[in-house]
Amino acid sequence: MSGITTAIHSVQKPHFAPVPEGLSDAQKKNLDKLKNLSQEYEGFFMKQVVDAMRKTVPKGGYLNGGNAEEIYKGMMDDKLSEQMAKTGGSGIAENLYNTFSKAYLASIKAEETMGAVK
């Protein structure tokens, strides 16, 4: 494993809020979708960060791989940002999920309360 990958794997996994008991299968599925979307968003954000960092590295020198090197670096950056999101390196996915799941669960509770009042 490369040094970067080893460093990424040593980062603690994100702590998503637990799914409460008593939810329907559809509601649990919605929370699972929210978790996946939160991680995808973090991956997209991290890709933007990695791309911005890559632009600061000077090109040229003795080893210039041309277009093939650019394609390889792009693929490597994609995987790197994907791994960063999976390990929760920035905490973006965790915070998004925890915030939106709390709002979603509150809306479910409000709907149940309104249904009981009628």
Q: Where are the domains of the chain?
A: 23-117
The average pLDDT across 63-83 equals: 85
Q: Residue 10, SS3?
A: coil
Express each pLDDT in 62-72 by its tens digit. 667 778 888 88
| Res 105 pLDDT > 90 | yes
| Res 78 pLDDT > 70 | yes
17 Rama sector, left if φ>0, alpha if ψ -120 to 50, beta otherwise? beta
Which one is predicted more confidently, 44 or 9? 44
Element (H, E) at 100: helix 92-117
The average pLDDT across 3-19 equals: 64
Percent of the chain with pLDDT over 90: 38
Predicted model pTM: 0.73
Say how far apart CA 7 and CA 1 lie, in whole Å: 10
pLDDT at 1: 46
Angle between helices 25-55 and 92-117 (to 10 degrees): 150
Tell me the CB-side half-sphere exposure of residue 61, using CA atoms within 13 A. 5
